Amino acid sequence: MNISTYCNLDFTPKKIDNIWQLTNSPDIVTDGSGDKYIGYEHIGESYSGNRRYIIEESGRLTAKEIAELTGNGVFLDLACGDGCLTVPCAALGTKIIAGDISNSMLKILQEKAKNNDISLENVMLCRMNALDTSLKNECIDTAAANSVLHLISNPEKVVGEIYRVLKTGGSFICVDDAPGKNNENQFDNSLYNEIVSRFYSEYWTELNKFGITPQKYSWKFDRHAYCIKIFGSFEIKKITRGNVYKVSLKDGFIPRFVSRGFSDQVNVPQDMHQKTIDILLDRFAGIYGENFADIAYTGIEDDILITVYKK
Ligand SMILES: C[S@@+](CC[C@H](N)C(=O)[O-])C[C@H]1O[C@@H](n2cnc3c(N)ncnc32)[C@H](O)[C@@H]1O
């Protein structure tokens, strides 16, 4: 894929670690009067922890839908992160522009592909700002911006950017979880839930004493209402799942929280974070026992809802 076919640039971009550097925007913007966003450069490996090279079943199932919708065209995976959609789509031979503001996430994406023997020859990796992608008008057949709109203060602008780059007849593909069989989850997760909610709330109570609060931007953005206004029509497809899975605190929540891997922790200074975590780990070992991190959540996989908005 040739960069000049897809991008409008008044400079020749550099390529670092196979990643076209299409923007000079910072990794994170959390103050000032302009648009704000939380890039994951500092989160990197903590995002998926020791599952970062695994291609999840949900990613494979969604990739199949994306590949069918894209055909011989080009799929834009905007804010692609560590490649949970790009990598399984690449395995199906789909042509992809994979853009993210974080080079470290784009590096993990490449490692994930390598670990799974998947070629990225049809993938153009770009350090790109979702608020201003540098892509030409109407050069994209399908696009996704999964799990990112809530991290940006102006999600409407990102949807507008997707609309601009999509060809007429192109698809904006949105992926959501739907409880399905998990609605009637019959497992007792009360202890796990209690620990997670107590850890979260006691962490922020400690930090609130110093005036530090969780950073959230557009968690209440009504994507569907906005997309119906912008795109004329849409279709929804449900993929049913329902296998039982188990994840312990030590394999999921704790390492991610301890590495400051949740986006709302972005403004917590590292020294205060570490001090608070040390206090909480001690306190929780006292209350729930030394091995409290072995406690696991048992769940039933959610169904996947794929909403396709048509330009
Ligand atoms: C929660 S992750 C989602 C990654 C992936 N789409 C997924 O579904 O797993 C959010 C991603 O959005 C990226 N991001 C945040 N703000 C961005 C922006 N303004 N432009 C491009 N990427 C951005 C972050 O760097 C991060 O990789």
Shared domain check, 238 and 126: yes
Shared domain check, 144 and 238: yes
Residue-number span of the structural domain to which 129 is assigned: 3-179+218-243+301-310
Nearest residue CA, atom 1 of ligand 1? 147
Of 118, 113, 116, 111, residue with least CA distance to 92: 118
Residue 50 pLDDT: 83
Residue 217 pLDDT: 96
Residue 186 pLDDT: 87
Shared domain check, 103 and 189: no
Say how many CA atoms lie within 13 Å of 292 toward its Cβ.
20
- How many structural domains are present in the chain? 2
- 3-state secondary structure (DSSP) of residue 196: helix
Regions of the chain short of the pLDDT cut 50: none
Residue 49 pLDDT: 84
Q: Is the Cβ atom of 147 under 6 angstroms away from ligand 1? A: yes
In tens, the pLDDT along 60-113 reads 999 999 999 999 999 999 999 999 999 999 999 999 999 999 999 999 999 999
What does the DSSP assignment read for 214-259? ---SSTT--HHHHHHHHSSEEEEEEE----EEEEETTTTHHHHHHT
Shared domain check, 226 and 114: yes
203 C-alpha to ligand 1 centroid (Å): 24
Shared domain check, 187 and 172: no
* Mutation choice for ligand 1 from 106, 131, 148, CB with most ligand atoms inside 8 A: 148
In angstroms, the CA 183 to CA 110 distance is 36
Cβ atoms within 10 Å of 74's Cβ, excluding its own = 23
* Mutation choice for ligand 1 from 151, 262, 265, CB with most ligand atoms inside 8 A: 151
Q: Find the CATH number of the domain harbouring 226.
A: 3.40.50.150
Closest ligand 1 atom to 40 CA: 25
